[in-house]
A and B are shown apart, each in its own frame.
With several copies, the nearest count.
Chain A
Amino acid sequence: MSAADLSVRLGAMTLANPIMPASGTFSEDLADVFDLDLLGAHVLKTIMRGTRAGNPVPRVCDLQGGMLNAIGIPSKGIEDFRSRMLPYWQGYRAPLVVSISAHTLDEFARLCAEVSLPGVAAIEANISCPNIEADGNAFAMRPDTTAEVMRRLRAETDLPLWAKLTPNTGEPVAVAQAAEANGADALVTANTALGMAIDVRTRRPRLGNGMGGMSGPAVKPIALRMTYQCARACTIPVIGCGGIATLDDVLEFLIAGASAVQVGTATFQSPTVMARLVAELGDWMQAQGLASLSEIIGSVEMPEGEAA
């Protein structure tokens, strides 16, 4: 382990390092693969209020440089979270981030209030899951619906509130600003890109649900672009997410303006990747002689004519 200071600030929170898992790609099952307290934070799979079965199988398929998933949000509901999950995660030092989602504003608001419990460090509002509504629809596709849902959630909690955005929008900056204006303390850029794959022999989609969310290295340039756009246009911190697998990927997002990053699909290829990234980032900081990550966050030099 290196001695470099990897801590980063996300509004009122301070993380020991900027590496955390992406929602839906992490669970207690990883605890006996490496020490989860090495992570900057723990972000849980999105929960919904009631119990849900999730989507039909196949729920995943692989692609060149990435994968599609249509897990849906199989959920054991709020009670299971309170009685089983929360106590388990309270056993760690790393701050706990609870991801929530809902179909309606009322349900979303209610769930937000219900998970605002001691031991929860922040709430990530998954307003961008393409696998809940038909055709991948989600609140974060439009500024007005983003504003509305964030306003409702903000009213229900005093915890730091993160808005997880979607790349499936033509207005990422307006959406990000709507989230900030309505109380988001940080942005996560981004959830999966809506995609599809067909098995040409059966003529059926390769996912049981038809369409699904694309993740992995293939979406990295899109997520990086959104991270840059949002960091430039907003004052709240941005957490980069999409295709991060190597130290260079982490640095790319930090340089683009991310204050921290989430790692998803890469954990499926190598379950210990996040532990390695923390160690490698420390080594890199020492080798570069950098005292703080703030020296590189947002340090991209854009060409003339582009507002950096």
Chain B
Amino acid sequence: MTLSPSVLSVPMAPGVLPRCAEARCVVRSNLPVNGEYRLLTLDAPPEVLDCQPGQFFQLLCPEPEGEHPFLRRPMSIYGYDAEAGQLQFLYKVAGAGTRGLATLRPGGMLNVLGPLGQGFSMPQHWQDLLLVARGVGLATLAPLARAAQRSGRRLTAICSARRPELAMSVDLFRGYGAEVIVVHDEDGSSTPEALRGLIEARIAAGRVDAFYTCGSSRLLRLLQDLGQRHGIPGEIAMEQQMACGLGMCQACVRPFREEGGIVQRRVCREGPVFPLLEAIA
């Protein structure tokens, strides 16, 4: 029995195009990429492949033995290819849901909902991009790097990690034409102070039009400070516990700075990508 990817279709109001869809995808491979991460490659129907870097899917994770993930789990799009009909996620096995994902075997099915949220923007005048990634944030920034290369931007990627074993992300960003700088905790090169010097030197050299980052509060604070001092804009992809992923339930709010004061925004709907300076660490 060969299964093929399909989409759950439902009637739309006249003239309305579905923003996202629920699709049954077929697992092509689900391979460990190092101790903690796995790369999941799916055959996906075209209806869910019109994606933007920074968007995410909500995955209905299978139940690993003895555990019962109930809600869908948000995962950034690591790769998408409408022509090949492929969708990729890079995930870290953390709890029940991702342990369930790890049980998927080639030929198996996975129900995904997406693409969801607002991706990264890349205005024409942002030509020299500085990506600062740590941990699984790499998954979120990878498609951005690919899009940057395609539109001919200059790319620098600072990859931060606990130990200097980042082969995968280094190769990946190099593959997208980025200059890669590896910093790590063991030699102290990943501290905010160390990074500040490094980045300020590049700013001084006129090499930074915009920052892109995700997750880490320490990195966010550093980049906000640098951005403010030097007038450099940027974007950050953020995370929050979710239920619906569509904007309905208000589970996923975070506070943001706006002119009028602090406002709550939904990570799943207004985000997950937000202007760097509006985010609150």
Contact = CB atoms under 8 A, between A and B. Distances in A.
Contacts of A67: 70-71, 243
Q: Output the residue of B8, B70, B269 with the most chain A CB within 10 A.
A: B70
Interface string A45-68: 100000001100111111111110
Given A65-B70, A272-B22, A36 B241 contact: no
Contacts of A246: 66
A34 B12 contact: yes
Interface string A86-122: 0000000000000000000000000000000000000
Interface string B215-251: 0000000000000000000000000111111111111
A271 B22 contact: yes
B69 to A, nearest CB: 6
B4 interface: no
A59 B11 contact: no
A60 B243 contact: yes
Contact of A69 (B13, B21, B22, B249): B249
Nearest to B267: A57
A57 B248 contact: no
Interface in A19-46: 24-27, 29-38, 45
Interface residues of B, number: 37
B10 interface: yes
Nearest to A272: B10
A74 B251 contact: no
Contacts, number: 117
Contacts of B240: 57
A204 interface: no
Nearest to B73: A62
A272 B17 CA distance: 14
B250 A35 contact: no
Range, interface on chain A: 35 or more
B16 interface: yes
A267 interface: yes
A58 to B, nearest CB: 4
Given A38-B11, A57-B241, A275-B10, A69 B17 contact: no
B20 A58 contact: no
B134 interface: no
A3 interface: no
B265 to A, nearest CB: 11
A211 to B, nearest CB: 16
Interface in B8-31: 8, 10-13, 16-22
B11 A1 contact: yes
A240 to B, nearest CB: 20
B71 A268 contact: yes
Interface in B59-84: 60, 66, 68-72
Contacts of A61: 241
A59 B248 contact: no
Q: Which of A53, A58, A60, A276 has the most CB of B within 10 A?
A: A60
B249 A268 contact: yes
A60 B251 contact: yes
Interface centre among B16, B60, B269 (most CB of A within 10 A): B16
A62 B69 contact: yes
A74 B70 contact: no
B191 interface: no
B250 A54 contact: yes
B19 A32 contact: yes
A65 B12 CA distance: 30
Given A62-B70, A74-B264, A268 B250 contact: no
B43 to A, nearest CB: 20
Contact of A24 (B66, B249, B269): B249
A71 interface: yes
Nearest to B17: A32
Given A30-B246, A33-B19, A269 B13 contact: no
Contact of A66 (B18, B70, B253, B264): B70
Contact of B16 (A31, A53, A62, A64): A31
Given A35-B16, A54-B253, A71-B249, 4 more contacts: A32-B20, A35-B13, A57-B251, A269-B71
19 contacts: A24-B249, A33-B18, A33-B19, A33-B20, A34-B11, A34-B18, A35-B13, A54-B250, A57-B254, A59-B251, A63-B70, A64-B70, A66-B70, A67-B70, A71-B249, A268-B248, A270-B22, A275-B11, A276-B8
Interface of A: 1, 24-27, 29-38, 45, 53-54, 57-67, 69, 71, 74, 216-217, 246, 267-272, 275-276
User: Would you list the 7 A-B pairs with minimal beta carbon distance, nearest first?
Assistant: A29-B247, A62-B70, A32-B19, A64-B68, A34-B10, A35-B13, A62-B71
